[in-house]
Structure 1
């Protein structure tokens, strides 16, 4: 069953150069209880999609979508007030730069205490109730910290964000995200600019949340190799267009879109011998700027299969759950 169903999401942003279509008919179908990877190069529009799901629209945005359902809830029909009510409880976000989203003027205890589930009390002025609330909050926070792997909880709670490492700040954000046991966690580049050991810890933590709590996770990344083995399903996005989507096995074993094939080729396989100083594979050309986007399929100028037909936007084709948007996909005997 689909927990999040998005069809033909488009985001037009008004700039000094005019209106630019940043996201062009992007679609996502996230199955309940799975890890879904949304993969694309930096600047492909992954964070814009996440913000559209959360309703974090800026005044110069125009968001249009055929369908955006969270379970049975139509997100497009919710008022801003109603949308905020489901944030944290139904959907939680782990941002890319944790220090940028933690308040530098508040200690960690005060910040995480704000997102904890409330305790019913009629008179908040009574000292006894205040003390009981603080005691309960501290216990809840310690349990959350234990779940995300923060060991020295007392020192962390008394610290400001700038006094903590990037990895600890990210774990604090994950603790805040899971405080209300949300159905869906959106993790936007959760291991960005972290050392390899910390990256492995964060990804292992997200995997455990999915396995132990059945939490659905939408994992955004520009590193195909990092998240492909972690994801049950993968969607690839290029310059605001979702180009291919399917299960891990479908994407890895039978990639159909040229962009997917290129992403797989750029992933290093350390089980194979790589000659010293050998040239690694890269997709020819550069990502176009958003004010100079090609018409039709945006991969066209970099695609070896491109023909005149590619100036038209390709329709979505479904091969037994394997979604592809390409005029000239790679087909084998099983799919053709």
Structure 2
């Protein structure tokens, strides 16, 4: 069953040079209880998609979609106040650069306490008539910090964000995200600028949340290799256009789109077959700027299979579970 169903999402931004379509007909189907990876180079529009789902629109944005459902709720028909009631309860967000999203003037304990649901506090703290075991706010915060792998909860709770490492700040954000037991967590490049050990800890924590609590996770990343083994399903995006979607095994074993093939080739396999001082694979060219996007298929100028017809936008092709937008997909037997 699809927890989040987005069809033909487009985002137009008003600029000094005129209106630019930064996201074009993006579709996402997130299965309940799965980890879905949204992969693309920096500047491909992943954060724009996340903000559109969350309702964090700038005034100069024009967001349109044929369908944007969270379960049975039509997100496009909700008012801003109704959308805010869903945020944090049904959908939670883990931002990149977590220290910049935490309040620098408040200690961690106070910030986690603010996001705790009032009903949970009433039930846990004050409901003596139903003989519910008394549990202090400190115990609730402690349990959340322990759940995300922070053992020195007293030290972290009494600290300001600038006194913590980037990894600990990210774990605090995850603790705040899961405080309301949301159905969907959107993790926007949660390991940016972190060392490899901390990255592994964050990814292991997200995987644990998914397995133990059946939490659905939309994981945004610009590194195909880092999240490929973690994801049940994957969607690849280039310059605001989705190019291919499918489950992990399908994508890795039989990629159909040239961009997908290129991303897989960038994964290093340390099995002794890499020639010393050999060049790493890169797709020719560079990602275009937002005000110079190619017409039709935006990969066209860099695509090894490009032909004249690629100046028109390709239709959706569904083949053996793959959803691909390409005029010349690689169809396996």
| Shorter-chain TM-score tier | over 0.9
Structure 1 position 148 matched with structure 2 position 145: no
Maintained 8 Å contact 1:116/1:137: no
Quote the offset at 1:222 in angstroms. Answer: 0.3
Matched with 2:194 is: 194
Look up the SS of the partner of 2:202 in the other structure: helix
Matched with 2:262 is: 262
Quote the offset at 1:204 in angstroms. Answer: 0.2
TM-score (norm 1): 0.94
Change (3 A) 1:135 1:158: farther
Alignment of 1:8-157 (within 5 A): 8-119=8-119, 136-157=136-157
Matched with 2:234 is: 234
Quote the offset at 1:136 in angstroms. Answer: 1.9
Matched with 2:7 is: 7
Quote the offset at 1:64 in angstroms. Answer: 0.4
Quote the offset at 1:147 in angstroms. Answer: 0.6
Q: Which runs of 5+ in 1 are unaligned?
A: 127-133
Distance of 1:317 and 1:53 partners within structure 2: 25
Displacement over 3 Å in runs of 4+: none
Higher alpha-carbon deviation: 272-281 or 50-59: 272-281
Quote the offset at 1:332 in angstroms. Answer: 1.7
Maintained 8 Å contact 1:91/1:185: yes
Look up the SS of the partner of 2:3 in the other structure: strand
Distance of 2:135 and 2:212 partners within structure 1: 27
Look up the SS of the partner of 2:192 in the other structure: coil
Look up the SS of the partner of 1:104 in the other structure: coil
Change (3 A) 1:155 1:135: farther
Structure 1 position 321 matched with structure 2 position 315: no
Quote the offset at 1:135 in angstroms. Answer: 6.4
Q: Which runs of 5+ in 2 are unaligned?
A: 127-133
Quote the offset at 1:110 in angstroms. Answer: 1.0
Count of residues in correspondence between the two structures:
324
Distance of 1:4 and 1:27 partners within structure 2: 10
Distance of 1:320 and 1:138 partners within structure 2: 51
TM-score (norm 2): 0.95
Distance of 2:252 and 2:3 partners within structure 1: 24
Matched with 1:217 is: 217
Matched with 1:330 is: 330
Distance of 2:217 and 2:68 partners within structure 1: 17
Matched with 2:296 is: 296
Distance of 2:191 and 2:332 partners within structure 1: 36
Distance of 2:180 and 2:64 partners within structure 1: 30
Quote the offset at 1:265 in angstroms. Answer: 0.5
Look up the SS of the partner of 1:114 in the other structure: helix
Look up the SS of the partner of 2:83 in the other structure: helix
Quote the offset at 1:57 in angstroms. Answer: 0.2
Distance of 1:16 and 1:272 partners within structure 2: 52
